[in-house]
Amino acid sequence: MKHLFISLWLVAAGLGRLVAAHPPIAVDALPAQWKLSLDAFSSEHPDQAFRAEADGVYIEGRFSFDSGVQMLRLQGVYRTRQELDPRAKLSYQLYSDEGKVLQADGRRFEWRASAAGGVEADFLIESVLIKQPKLRSVVRVQFNYVVEHEYWYRDRHPELFLPELALSAAVRSAQLSVRWAWVPPVLPSETVCIIPAWIGAEFAGKPPPYSAALDVLASGEGGRVEALRQPLPLRADGECLVLYGLEEASRRSVQLRPGFVWEGVEWFDSYRSNPYREVRVVGPLSYVFGLTFAMLGLVGGWCGLQRVRSRRLRWAGYGVWGVAGLWLVAVVAVSFYAVVALGIALIWWLQRRIAAPGSRAYWTLWCFLVMLELYWGHGITGSCGHWTGTFISACLAALVLLPLRCLQRPWLAASAGTAIGLIAALGATAMAVYFGFFHDYPGLRDLLYAGQVGAVGDSVAILVGQRHLVPWLLCACSVSGLWRGTVRAKRPNR
């Protein structure tokens, strides 16, 4: 048993000897003729002819680098007058500048008789350098001869001269970094979210071919989620602010970080520090519900602080309230729902400041209709396009709602406001569902087929999502203040 173990160990050692790697010597120790670089070559001349000869070995060819696919290519003729085994073939190994093995077993090239004496072989060596972390990479090419399934010449004949080339090319056109980024723990789905990030870049010549894009991985699936691309606003080496866009993400947990993509080539991943953040993407209705309760909590907290007698505790509470408020603002500000939050806050503020029932209903409904226009036209469907149409709609709504100012009875103003709000929410939802299917708004001719809606009720129900229910929640938040004023008006004085 002991002898069998020793025999197996010797066989494994012998097999390992067949593919043993020889780390390259330092670049400075190589003769100048074996060092090739494309540093001085422009995009109009992306290759370089070379010729080198030493100790009976002659190499001639061209060295090129295709930046589009990050492919380094060495092609030419290898000629030698050395005495070789007739079964030997020309091959090679590739190393990085630090001695890391990039390719341990290269392609084989057949010999043929050379008119200049000896034998020669045509060779083609290609290496993709995407994963090299430096701006400029050095690849070491060790030529070698191999007798298949027996030995490599560098192992058996170390005294034999075998050339080695050092190839230098611009692997990356930039070293990119993310200095700071704000990624909230919760984001709404079915709308565009904006993630701000402060980035830095180091160029190697021309501006980089990378575009800014969020690097989003779906948790549990491992697949990358498509994100909006946008050019980097960089003119020189330095830092700048980039607003990353995340468009209509599905409801799920994702891992997210600001990133950079070279379209069709690679995602940049040589960061010093840019970890993925775990983010929960929730539905629009859940997001607005949480936003509404958080705003109510802040209002309740502020009112509660007014009743605290201790000055120190009250100021400490103000500090905590301010931090919580800033955090909530920062969370909401990355999406279009910041406009929704501002609209709800404005409506509640107006309802507390305006005493006349008609005026209170007028301004409540006008703010609600403008907010509805912004939500559907710019935040969800993006169908409004220019802001001129939004301005005209706001002016038209202001004119149509003018009769509300004439209402003096609280219950009448509240009833009219509620009816108008419900009709507006219903109309906006119906048009949004229609637009989501046909990518257009219904015309007068389409109203003739309204009676057929019941026959396709199941299909319509599939098209309705959480974002179509948000206007109803906004309507409830808006008109509830009108009825609160009505209840106060009916309450007898004590």
Q: What is the 3-state secondary structure (H, E, C) of 243-299?
A: EEEEECCCCEEEEEEEEEEECCCEECCCCCCCCCEEEEEECHHHHHHHHHHHHHHHH
Residue 355, φ and ψ in degrees, nearest 5: -90, -35
H or E stretch covering 187: strand 186-188
Concatenating the DSSP letter of every residue in 290-352 gives HHHHHHHHHHHHHHHHHT---HHHHHHHHHHHHHHHHHHHHHHTTBTHHHHHHHHHHHHHHHH
Q: What is the dihedral of CA 207, 225, 223, 67, to 10 degrees?
A: -20
Comparing CA positions, the residue from 267, 199, 265 lying closest to residue 227 is 267
The C-alpha atoms of residue 155 and residue 142 are separated, in whole angstroms, by 13
User: How many angstroms separate the first and last alpha carbons of the chain?
Assistant: 106
| Per-residue pLDDT at 277 | 87
**What pTM does this model have?**
0.59
Identify the segments of the chain with pLDDT beneath 70: 1-46, 67-70, 129-137, 169-174, 203-208, 220-222, 234-237, 248-251, 265, 270-272, 379-385, 436-463, 485-494
- Tens digit of each residue's pLDDT (9 = 90 or more) over 7-42: 433 333 343 333 344 554 444 444 444 555 554 333
Contact 238, 103 (CB under 8 A): no
Half-sphere exposure of 385 (CA within 13 A, CB side): 1
- Tens digit of each residue's pLDDT (9 = 90 or more) over 340-368: 888 888 888 888 888 888 888 899 889 98
| Per-residue pLDDT at 27 | 41
Domains in the chain with CATH codes: 19-170 (2.60.40), 174-282 (2.70.50.60), 335-490 (no CATH)
User: Residue 109 has what DSSP assignment?
Assistant: B
